Amino acid sequence: GAGVSQSPSNKVTEKGKDVELRCDPISGHTALYWYRQSLGQGLEFLIYFQGNSAPDKSGLPSDRFSAERTGGSVSTLTIQRTQQEDSAVYLCASSPMAGQRGTDTQYFGPGTRLTVL
């Protein structure tokens, strides 16, 4: 079946503009994660959604970052007033969460490469 999809694949924006990044998880997966990956760096956790529970926003770097997940499926990550340091690849992952907490495999999308000029 289809994997996790993200759009756009690339986004170039000017400093100060707002951007929206979209993630379509695997159908039926209840958990959804957003990560940020800067050039040559590891995966920085941003936010986690699980079903109808309140999201875990503990990784969001500032109040310019927000995310929502509508109907328990598609998620949108919004960055307001973008800064050059926001330039990175933003990865989305989903997980079925059918097993024990923290033990389910994450399936990653291809990412959105964001460049802030």
Partner 1 sequence: GENVEQHPSTLSVQEGDSAVIKCTYSDSASNYFPWYKQELGKGPQLIIDIRSNVGEKKDQRIAVTLNKTAKHFSLHITETQPEDSAVYFCAASDGGSYIPTFGRGTSLIVHP
Binding site for partner 1 (CB under 8 A): 4, 31, 33, 41-43, 45, 48, 50, 56, 59, 91, 93, 97, 100-103, 105-111
Query: Which residue bears the tokens 């995310």?
Result: 67
**59 vs 80 by CB, closer to partner 1:** 59
What are the two backbone dihedrals, phi and then psi, of residue 65, each rounded to the nearest 5 degrees? Answer: -100, 135
Cβ 106 to partner 1 shortest distance, Å: 7
Q: 7-36: string of b/e by CB count within 10 Å (b at 16+)? A: eeeebebeeeeebebebbbbeebbbbbbbb
The residue among 70 and 103 lying less far from partner 1, judged by its C-beta, is: 103
Number of helices (H), then strands (E), belonging to the chain: the values are 0, 10
Query: Shortest distance, CB of residue 101 to partner 1, whole angstroms?
Result: 5
CB of 5 or CB of 66, closer to partner 1: 5
Pairing mode, if any, of strands 112-116 and 107-108? Answer: unpaired
- Shortest separation between residue 80's beta carbon and partner 1, angstroms: 24
Output 20 or 56, the one with its CB closest to partner 1. 56
Residue 81 CB, shortest distance to partner 1, in Å, is 27
Would you state the structure tokens that stand for residue 38, as one six-digit string?
Answer: 């800067």
